[in-house]
Amino acid sequence: MLLGDFGTSYSKFLNLSSARPKPYIIASKALTSEHKVTIATGHNGKRFSERYVNELTVLARGGEQLISENDFVLLDCGSRDIKFIHYIDGRLNDMGWNSECGASMGFTIELLARYYDLDYHKLSVPDRPFSVTCGVLGMSRIFDAVVSGIPDSEAVARFVMGIAINAYRFAGSPTKLYLSGGLCDNPLFLKSFPCKVIPLGRFVLLKGLEAIATQRNG
């Protein structure tokens, strides 16, 4: 059985029929009809699957599998949007999905690194952020800052910090936050949160799909 998390920029797969299932990634622009799966989630999931499961449902199941605590907040930051789940006493208490304030957040951060030839592993957390409500619209703050004489690395760092703080507030401003998605690999983004952040990696939604698939076949 093949599972798929079809994101806007990248798609993740897990073949449960393998002797040792290991997740792998394919750029979404490279997808073809050959990548059809049994169960899917994600922005393009309905196009490539026999069965589609809502991303918030899958995120919740993935969180249940990977987080041992009864009380937690799990935030998923994708290329296109952000979403979170909040558990209290082992039960789902709240959830949210934002494709407007989180518009193209992950995509924009990746795009800026390529445009300015920056390495997020080498950038320091700035003293203050830009006020950013959207990845796309926030880019104008960077261009204005660079024109005013601020180094492009500093401007981008302020932008990333602003994005992180916006996502943190959207998730309810918790004291501790579990993070899902490709931005788990971005140290500047992780350090820009005003709380403790525990990255779970890119495959949380696949873990949720695996739990759903196992329950289905059990």
Domain assignments of the chain as residue spans, ordered by start: 1-54+204-218, 68-199
59: left (phi over 0), alpha (psi -120 to 50) or beta: alpha
- The token pair at 173 is 């401003």
* pLDDT of res. 213: 93
Grade residue 28 by pLDDT with cuts at 50, 70 and 90: very high
Predicted confidence band at 54 (pLDDT cuts at 50, 70, 90)?
A: very high
pTM of the model: 0.91
Mean pLDDT of 25-45: 92
**What's the CA gap between 17 and 191, in Å, rounded?**
38
Angle of the 105-116 helix axis to the 152-170 helix axis, nearest 10: 170
DSSP state of 173: -
The string of DSSP codes covering 108-144 is: HHHHHHHHHT--TTTPPPPSS----S-TTTTHHHHHH
What is the CATH code of the structural domain delimited by 1-54+204-218?
3.30.420.40
119 token code pair: 């390495």
Q: What is the pLDDT, as a whole number, of residue 135?
A: 63
Contact 180, 78 (CB under 8 A): no
Any idea which of 1-10, 11-20, 37-46, 99-108 has the lowest mean pLDDT?
99-108
Mean pLDDT of 115-121: 95
CA angle centred on 39, ends 38 and 41, rounded to 5°? 140
**Mutual angle of helices 105-116 and 139-147, in 10-degree steps:** 30
Please choose, from the candidates 192, 173, 174, 196, the residue with its C-alpha nearest in 3D space to the C-alpha of residue 183.
192
Q: What pLDDT score was predicted for residue 105?
A: 74
Q: What is the pLDDT of residue 79?
A: 79
Mean pLDDT of the residues in the chain: 90
Helix residue ranges per DSSP H, the chain: 55-66, 105-116, 139-147, 152-170, 187-191, 204-217
**1-54+204-218 and 68-199 agree in CATH topology:** yes
Q: Please state, in angstroms and rounded to a whole number, the distance separating the CA atoms of residues 204 and 86.
A: 15
For the segment 141-155, the average pLDDT, to the nearest whole number, is: 90
Mean pLDDT of the 175-196 span: 96
Q: In what order do the strands lie in the sheet with 82-88?
A: 91-98, 82-88, 72-77, 176-180, 196-199
What confidence tier does 100 reach under pLDDT thresholds 50, 70, 90? low
Is pLDDT at 13 greater than 80 in this prediction?
yes
Is residue 218 predicted with pLDDT exceeding 70?
no
Residue 133, pLDDT > 90, answer no
Number of Cβ within 10 Å of residue 64's Cβ equals 18
| pLDDT tens digit sequence for 56-86 | 999 999 999 999 999 999 999 987 788 999 9
CATH fold of 68-199 reads: Nucleotidyltransferase; domain 5 (3.30.420)
Structure tokens at 95: 């959830």
